[in-house]
Amino acid sequence: MTTKYSIFEKLERIFLIFVLLAFSFSLIALLAQTKTNSNENESDTVSQLNFSKPAKLGQTQIWIAQARTSKERTVGLSGQKGIFENQGLLFAFSEPGIYKIWMKDMLFSLDAIWLDEEYKVIHIEKNITPESFPQTYTSPLPALYILEVRSGFVDSNKIIIGDIFRFL
């Protein structure tokens, strides 16, 4: 009987070691995943924006992400490392008004384009730098949309007052 008991004891120890190893590996995998997600959030949040809507501004094609909620509009492109030259963030408001932007927590310069309810360019601010914070920028005319693009976009694509923005 002592032989059976010692075999049972050995199996019990092996099982306990196996359970502890499985738990340890699961914990390590969970911590590694949490660290990876944390690093992704800290390093480059551009990927969280969905630049999937094709549009044209004047004769230039651009891919748009939209900021529709108050929170999305408040955050905007803050904390982003940058966007591609053919990308823009469109801020959509519920009614035309005098809306301001600022460069809080921005890491790159941008051009801002105010659009009326017919998507016509009514005001442009070029090369707004992160260092300009807390200064605010606004259109003298009521706008329904603001399009933020990478600095230099307006000049390189010859965007002017009166150009029309449209989704494709």
pLDDT digits (tens, 9 = 90+) for 108-161: 999 999 999 999 999 999 999 999 999 999 999 999 999 999 999 999 999 999
Is residue 29 over pLDDT 90?
no
Q: At 32, is the pLDDT very low, low, confident or very high (cuts 50, 70, 90)?
A: low
Residue that has been written with the tokens 């990876």 in this structure: 36
Q: At 73, is the pLDDT very low, low, confident or very high (cuts 50, 70, 90)?
A: confident
Q: What is the pLDDT of residue 38?
A: 42
Q: What is the pLDDT of residue 2?
A: 52
pTM for the whole thing?
A: 0.70
Please check whether residue 59 is in contact with residue 53, taking contact to mean a CB–CB distance below 8 angstroms: no
What is the spatial distance between Cα 85 and Cα 132, in angstroms, rounded to a whole number? 21
Q: At 62, is the pLDDT very low, low, confident or very high (cuts 50, 70, 90)?
A: very high
Q: What is the pLDDT of residue 16?
A: 76
Is residue 45 over pLDDT 50?
no
Q: What is the pLDDT of residue 4?
A: 59
Q: What is the pLDDT of residue 46?
A: 42
Is residue 34 over pLDDT 50?
yes
Q: What is the DSSP string of the chain?
A: -HHHHHHHHHHHHHHHHHHHHHHHHHHHHHHHHHHHHHHHHHH-GGGGS---EEEEETTEEEEEEEE-SHHHHHHTTTT-----TTEEEEEEEEEEE--EEE-TT--S-EEEEEE-TT-BEEEEEEEE-GGGTT-EEE-SS-EEEEEEEETTHHHHTT--TT-BEEE-
Distance separating the N- and C-terminal Cα atoms of the chain: 82
What's the chain's average pLDDT? 85
